[in-house]
Amino acid sequence: MEDGMAGGTGAERRGGDGGPITVGVVNLGCPKNQVDAEVMLGQLAAAGYRIAESPEEAELVIVNTCGFIQEAKEESIQSILAAAELKRRGRCRALVVSGCLPQRYAAELPGLLPEVDAFLGTGEFARIGEIARTALATPGRDRVWITARTALPTADLPRRRLTPPHVAYVKVAEGCDHTCSFCAIPGIRGRLQSRPRADVAAEVRRLAAEGVREVILVAQDTTAYGWDRGEPRALVRLLEELLQVPGLAWIRLHYLYPTRIPRELVRLLAAEPRLCRYLDLPLQHCDGRILHAMRRGGHETSLRRLVDGLRAAVPDLVIRTSFITGFPGEGREEFAALHRFLEEMRFDRVGVFCYSDEEGTGAVALKPKVPARIAEARRAKLMAVQARIAEERGRALIGSVQEVLVDGPSPQFPELMAARMAGQTFEVDGCVYVRGPAPPAGRFVQVRIREAFEHDFVGEVVEVPQ
């Protein structure tokens, strides 16, 4: 591990008050990117830096960017410019930009953003101590730290988690071997790299010993975990090993590729209550021609069969999915099929995104293009359908007793505690607001659901498990 306080002139080792240098992070994008930010903060903290409560209080600011789609790129640029303004005002001494945006635009960004002292790619987060030291000591020199290969976290790397103490993301793999025509991720994060199963298990055991009750396994394609290592059963074997970890109450899976869900995984979901009966399963569309153009495979009949089969095997399964509107060639007929599919399948949670051309992807060359206003109108129609379905599903739970994991006081309603059912993933699917006395964060409690809304619920404590 790099020693962020060693070497240099000494000026870069002290904050403005003579104490440790303060560091703040602006993290954007997905939970996988968040793990990288947590590793950077962990290494800097271990090297003697002090973690600031906000970027406004920091002398070293790291903007950990997303470069997946146009909207994410715009948000990243705005966040970089906001951090550059902090530097202009004098509190911030060095600005580091990390993540997918510099990895994707390594040649262009240094000329466009002279305010940035270092650009850090997705393969270099473990070197943040060295990079921070250089940025503080010689601003404007040695600005680009980017290699072609994305790095994997390891169990021995320190992390300063940005989640509540009882929740942790665990990145099991990086990169993706799929060639979806709309997706830029393989060009940014590279091909699939899976962590050794023993390394993932060691990290989860350490997290559980620190008080983590829920781990959320993430990757670009979690179902492909281990395939690059010649281990097609690696995911199921990993889950079986993690289920033996003392103190761990929930294990949740994100980012499953729909055509690659092994039967063993479905059987394990049905049999093991600590494995959350929750699947994050991006379908993207239902029309066979559109799916073929997306290089996804499948068609409406096969997707219906898949979802029906999962629900039959795991009756209380919660499915989150996502769809894209406005993909090239999506006409009225294809959208009508998607609209009908959403109405009839009645998914628990749905996100809908408008297609945008991303350079370097196969879909850029596809015709005809769908105007952005039409794509947005279609998105709004689907979201309206899903809002009604979600409200109906929510009302069906009124009066029932549900086990929830308490996350802590609600930021919106301080008099209430925020909690989640097993079918609600952290910071994505809403929460259960708990009235009355409730245990502290990280504890489970039985609540009776009294009110239901599109995403959230209100409940009252029935019983606190011993």
The CATH code of the domain that includes 110 is 3.40.50.12160
CATH number, domain containing residue 420? 2.40.50.140
The answer to whether the CB of 255 falls within 8 A of the CB of 351 is no
The answer to whether the CB of 189 falls within 8 A of the CB of 174 is yes
Over residues 193-225, the pLDDT tens digits come to 999 999 999 999 999 999 999 999 999 999 999
| 221/357 same-domain check | yes
pLDDT of 24 reads 94
Category of 18 on φ-ψ map: left (φ > 0), alpha (ψ -120 to 50) or beta = left
CA distance 174 to 132: 24
pLDDT of 141 reads 67
pLDDT of 466 reads 57
Greatest C-alpha distance within the chain: 67
Query: Where in the sequence is the domain holding 174, given as residue range(s)?
Result: 167-395
Q: Is 174 helix (H, G, I), strand (E, B) or coil?
A: strand
| 348/421 same-domain check | no
Tokens, residue 365 = 């060359």
CA distance 344 to 353: 20
| 239/339 same-domain check | yes
| 378/454 same-domain check | no
In a domain, 181, yes or no: yes
| 381/242 same-domain check | yes
Q: Beginning with the edge strand found earlier in the chain, give each strand of the sheet holding 94-99 in spatial order.
A: 50-51, 22-27, 60-65, 94-99, 118-120, 144-145
pLDDT of 200 reads 98
CA distance 149 to 423: 35
Tokens, residue 447 = 């609540």
Over residues 160-180, the pLDDT tens digits come to 999 999 999 999 999 999 999
Helix (H) or strand (E) holding 209: helix 197-209
pLDDT of 8 reads 41
Distant-in-sequence, close-in-space partners of 204: CB < 8 Å, separation ≥ 6:
170, 215, 242, 245, 248
| 207/351 same-domain check | yes
State the burial class of residue 459 (Cβ atoms within 10 Å of its Cβ: 0-12, 13-18, 19+).
buried
pLDDT of 311 reads 97
| 317/455 same-domain check | no
pLDDT of 9 reads 39
Q: Which residue has the tokens 């997707």?
A: 303
Specify which residues 460 forms β-bridges with: 435, 448
| 339/390 same-domain check | yes
Q: Is 329 helix (H, G, I), strand (E, B) or coil?
A: coil
Helix (H) or strand (E) holding 22: strand 22-27
What end-to-end distance do the CA atoms of the chain give, in Å? 41
pLDDT of 15 reads 59
pLDDT of 317 reads 96
CA distance 310 to 15: 55
CA distance 69 to 364: 13
CATH number, domain containing residue 299? 3.80.30.20
Helix (H) or strand (E) holding 450: strand 444-452
Last residue of a domain, one of 145, 176, 198: 145
pLDDT of 138 reads 80
The answer to whether the CB of 405 falls within 8 A of the CB of 214 is yes
Helix (H) or strand (E) holding 458: strand 457-463
CA distance 60 to 91: 9
pLDDT of 283 reads 98
DSSP for residue 259: G
Domain count for the chain, please give it: 3
Last residue of a domain, one of 115, 145, 175: 145
| 295/172 same-domain check | yes
Residues of the chain with pLDDT under 50: 1-12
pTM: 0.92
The answer to whether the CB of 183 falls within 8 A of the CB of 69 is no
Specify which residues 50 forms β-bridges with: 22
| 359/423 same-domain check | no
In a domain, 424, yes or no: yes
Distant-in-sequence, close-in-space partners of 279: CB < 8 Å, separation ≥ 6:
253, 256, 261, 269, 310, 317, 318, 319, 320
The answer to whether the CB of 422 falls within 8 A of the CB of 403 is yes
| 435/323 same-domain check | no
